[in-house]
Structure 1
Amino acid sequence: MSECCKSGFKWDAQPTGTTTKLGDLPVYVAGDNKSAAILIIHDLFGWTLPNVRLLADHFAKEANATVYLPDFYEGEVVEPDAMSNPEKRAAFDVMAFLGRHNKDKRYPAIVAAAKQLKSQYKKVGAVGYCWGAWAVFKLAGESLIDAASAAHPSLVEKSEIDGLKVPTQILAPETDPQFTPELKEYSNKVIPTLNIPYEYVYFPGVVHGFAVRGDPKEPTQKAALERAKRSTVNWFNEWLH
């Protein structure tokens, strides 16, 4: 994992949702639709990052869904200051963090959350950012969700791309050491053969992490992160309603 996975900007607005439990997991919830839900699988900065909670608020309102953002890191939180403070960023050991929160350890709780939502709602979508995107691909491969969106995926394996079974959207920045040119090419070659709806949205001039940690004060990044939000909203409006 590269430096881009722990870089970015904290957004200033205040989230308006509530916190409760989804099964055994603490969860941030926005919206009150009774038939459609969206599961957000967070990046390295976890479920308390204001940015991802603000995205949950937007999706609840604009995609007309109840949005769930659970804590999949068992209470471990990376402070947002680690994105912009050079000393804190240097002290954040990404590889050790990923060892504590690897796929084998974290996927069972993600599956349980998806199954619970599927038991409660007619349609369930899932969107993953960076670390969370591999899990969205796996959920989509097991038909545990009805639609998938992945923004600048990290840790994705080709077998997880091969197995996709539901409508899938990928939001891909121009520069991404995690979702490499090879993986981009592989996705665009393989997914159209899987007999599922597929949307690949390309974002020039931005880097890995832009959709959840982009700088809203820089014009190119602001335009890209807003377009990413609209793209995800449109995708779920199409496949959840």
Structure 2
Amino acid sequence: MACDDCTTGFAWDGKPSGTEAMLASNNTYLVGDSEEYAVLIVADFFGWTMNNIRLLADHYAKTLNATVYVPDFYDGEVMHPDTLSDPERQKAFDREAWLARNSREKRWPEVKACAQALKAQYSRVAAVGYCWGGWACFQLAADPSLVDAIATAHPGLFDKNDVDSVKVPIQLIAPEDDFTFTPELKQYCFETLPKTGVQWEYVYFAGYRHGFASRGEIDTVKGRAGMERARNCVVHFFEEFLQ
């Protein structure tokens, strides 16, 4: 990952309505009161405290009648929200060092433990990941005992082996311009997922860039339309496979 699209974007206005709790061993943003359905959100570089991701959690909790969890998978490290619009903060951010601290190998046990904790409590569990969270959702999708369905928008850090391993329904939200979900990976998904036997859905967003679903410019007509469409896609997909 070497693209500025991972650290740029727009902060959204609004006050999240949830609380903070623990899930497995992770600090977690929690919203909703369902005793049957849970949604696990795996956030991007900005982490569990980002206002945008918490507002998305609130929306999923309300529209899906689910309890939604956004765990901290970065040991308390969060990116300052001003980084979205501050070139100096963006320049100072060392992606390679961050990724070394938060590699797949290091964070997977935490992601798995959180999913297991939810599965032990709820009848059905879905997961949605943004950017860095994409690989985590793919890896969860390889084990039906962990989740019942996944969705991911502009997913990062996954590979062809992850696509081969999918065993639960999967939704892919794909902007036209995305350095992580490359044309090669998109083509591989088209060729491979039909052979898995799982239900799958690919939603293409012409004219949009990596990050639009969680950090898009919603003060513009196009930006809001893209975010809302992506958000609604997740809701409709989970309505079918979560409930």
TM-score of the pair, normalised by structure 2: 0.98
After superposition, the C-alpha distances for 1:180-237 in whole angstroms (9 at most, x for unaligned) are: 0111111111111110000100111110010000000122121011000000011111
Counterpart CA distance in 2 for 1:95 and 1:208 is 19
| 3-state SS, counterpart of residue 141 of structure 1 | coil
1:75 maps onto 2:76 in alignment:
yes
After superposition, the C-alpha distances for 1:126-174 in whole angstroms (9 at most, x for unaligned) are: 0000000100000000221000001001111100011000000000001
Structure 1 residue 80, shift from structure 2 partner: 1.1
Q: Which residue of 1 aligns with 2:223?
A: 221
Q: Which residue of 1 aligns with 2:172?
A: 170
Counterpart CA distance in 2 for 1:138 and 1:194 is 15
Q: Which residue of 2 aligns with 1:124?
A: 125
Counterpart CA distance in 1 for 2:191 and 2:217 is 32
Q: Which residue of 1 aligns with 2:196?
A: 194
Runs of 5+ unmatched residues, structure 1: none
Structure 1 residue 63, shift from structure 2 partner: 1.0
Q: Which residue of 2 aligns with 1:211?
A: 213
Q: Which residue of 1 aligns with 2:136?
A: 135
Structure 1 residue 49, shift from structure 2 partner: 0.4
Letter in 2 for 1:93: D
Letter in 1 for 2:170: T
Letter in 1 for 2:153: A
| 3-state SS, counterpart of residue 12 of structure 1 | coil
Q: Given that residues 37 and 123 in structure 1 are in contact (C-alpha distance below 8 angstroms), is that contact kept between their aligned partners in structure 2?
A: yes
After superposition, the C-alpha distances for 1:85-131 in whole angstroms (9 at most, x for unaligned) are: 01111111111100100001101000000000000000000000000
Between the two proteins, what is the percent identity of the paired residues?
Answer: 50
Counterpart CA distance in 1 for 2:225 and 2:78 is 28
Match of 2:158 among 156, 159, 167: 156
Q: Given that residues 64 and 237 in structure 1 are in contact (C-alpha distance below 8 angstroms), is that contact kept between their aligned partners in structure 2?
A: no
TM-score of the pair, normalised by structure 1: 0.99
Structure 1 residue 47, shift from structure 2 partner: 0.2
Structure 1 residue 64, shift from structure 2 partner: 1.2
Structure 1 residue 3, shift from structure 2 partner: 1.1
User: Alpha carbon RMSD of aligned pairs, Å?
Assistant: 0.7
1:31 maps onto 2:32 in alignment:
yes
Counterpart CA distance in 1 for 2:8 and 2:87 is 10
Counterpart CA distance in 2 for 1:69 and 1:207 is 24
Letter in 1 for 2:232: R
Q: Which residue of 1 aligns with 2:62?
A: 61
Q: Given that residues 124 and 146 in structure 1 are in contact (C-alpha distance below 8 angstroms), is that contact kept between their aligned partners in structure 2?
A: yes
| 3-state SS, counterpart of residue 218 of structure 2 | coil
Counterpart CA distance in 2 for 1:97 and 1:80 is 16
Q: Which residue of 1 aligns with 2:86?
A: 85
| 3-state SS, counterpart of residue 175 of structure 2 | strand
Runs of 5+ unmatched residues, structure 2: none
| 3-state SS, counterpart of residue 183 of structure 1 | helix
Counterpart CA distance in 1 for 2:61 and 2:213 is 17
Higher mean C-alpha displacement, 218-227 vs 207-216: 218-227
1:184 maps onto 2:173 in alignment:
no
Letter in 2 for 1:162: D
